[in-house]
Amino acid sequence: MAEYTILHNPRCSKSRQTLAILEKHTEDIEVFLYLEKDLTTKFIKNILKVLKLDARDILRKNEQDFKHNNLSNKDLSEDDLISAMLNYPKIIERPIVIKGSQGIIGRPPENVLELF
């Protein structure tokens, strides 16, 4: 298992910039293309635990899937939001970088330097 894992969307400039910063500092990187892989509830809950955030905190509120599914509804539970992430992974903020029990959201990309 790699020391660093990045939830990466190659079409996202911030994700590409964050990956470039990682690659300057280490070769021990797993690039997880989360839009192409099947996510699990356990995986998302682990990411939230490492980030010390709630599901609502890592939602991309400007994504069409977020708006069309009324995910701004405050009555939605944590499990409801995680289920939405499984069905619509584009709504997950990116990039997310995990190193062991630490994690960051790479916005701005320089945030990743906190993990070194």
pTM for the predicted model, two decimal places: 0.94
Which one from 2, 12, 76, 115 is the annotated catalytic residue?
Answer: 12
Average pLDDT, 10 consecutive residues per value, the chain (116 residues): 95 98 97 96 98 98 97 98 98 98 97 96
Query: What's the CA gap between 101 and 89, in Å, rounded?
Result: 22
How far is the C-alpha of 56 from the C-alpha of 92, rounded, in Å?
Answer: 9
Give buried/exposed letters for 41-80 (b at 16+ CB in 10 A, else e). eebbeebbebbeeebeebbeeebebbeebebeeeebeeee
Question: What pLDDT does residue 70 have?
Answer: 97
Phi (first) and psi of residue 102, to 5 degrees: -115, 150
Locate the domains of the chain by residue range. Answer: 1-34+94-116, 48-92
Distance between CA 52 and CA 35 in Å, rounded?
22
Q: Is 12 considered catalytic here? A: yes
